Amino acid sequence: MRIVFAGTPEFAVAALGAAARHHEVVAVYTQPDRPAGRGRGLMPSPVKRDAIVRGLPVLQPDTLRTPEAQQQLRALQPDLMVVVAYGLILPQAVLEIPTHGCWNVHASLLPRWRGAAPIQRAIEAGDEETGVCLMQMEAGLDTGPVLLSQRTGIAATDTGGQLHDRLAQMGAQVLADGLGLLRAGLKPVAQAQPDTGATYAHKLDKAEARLDWSQAAPVLARRVRAFNPWPVAEALLAGERVRIHGAVAIEDDRGRVPGTVIAASRDGIDIACGQGALRLRVVQREGGKAITAADYLNARRDLPVEG
């Protein structure tokens, strides 16, 4: 089959490998290079870097809405377009170009967590399960019928990064399964998404990473996990702003003012919350690297503790 692949971030790289393994990928679409790093030089996307290594042609249009962009896609004569976290809206005219339309790999169990940040929102909400869906794309945002899916539990210790990596591999597998069926003339049966249960996973914003100690400790602990490795939770710790890479919620009924340091040991630094307490285990001072609570206490021996 002649496949056009469209994807941009690291999450899509494994899926590109699955598409290229047994099929002819005639072009890889990805977002234009963006400024990144301290020098703000233009950096190619992870998908572009992988495509170049594979010797695949790369296209980086700013939009797919123009007649010129659509004609360029049409000239590739694709049997199928595979889309994984591409970052551009595909208009109806594009969806109709490939013989078998466009497939999307999405990191949730649709219709829950449609949208940009399904992995982090699932952890933040306390979901016990998530997964990946292979979806036949339509004009609506992640509303198309589901072709195949896989489920996985969310462990109490899973971070956004860990779950991202697991779901990326699962996404590649459901794509490979779907492509295998299509190649054998057995196109997966499309199942319409349920009318109920839809939620929207809003794009992550760095402002969300600022923790509010008046909230419940379990809520904050989930946010710390969800926002690791980006944007990384941050908060005031006895007057110093730190980033929090690892924390757990613990029970505490001492009724201290939220934000108060109520205990500090090699096991962690306990901060009173609106409900319970948050035990900080891995933190990062401004301009420094992530360190254990024990190392932080060694560096800040004046930390006030009101146990």
Residues within the annotated binding site for (6S)-5,6,7,8-tetrahydrofolate?
Answer: 108-111
Contacts of 287 (CB under 8 A, 6+ apart): none
Q: Which residue reads 């996985």 in tokens?
A: 152
Contacts of 67 (CB under 8 A, 6+ apart): none
Which residues are annotated binding-site positions?
A: 108-111
Expressed in angstroms, the distance from the first to the final Cα of the chain is 66
Q: Where are the beta strands (DSSP E) in 79-191?
A: 80-84, 102-106, 114-115, 129-136, 146-153
Q: Which residue reads 């702003």 in tokens?
A: 241
Cβ proximity of 125 and 223 under 8 Å: no
Cβ proximity of 274 and 216 under 8 Å: yes
Q: How far is CA 263 from the centre of its chain?
A: 34
Distance between CA 145 and CA 189 in Å, rounded?
Answer: 9
Length of the chain: 307
Q: Which two tokens stand for residue 237?
A: 């710790």
Distance between CA 6 and CA 97 in Å, rounded?
Answer: 14
Q: How far is CA 126 from the centre of its chain?
A: 16
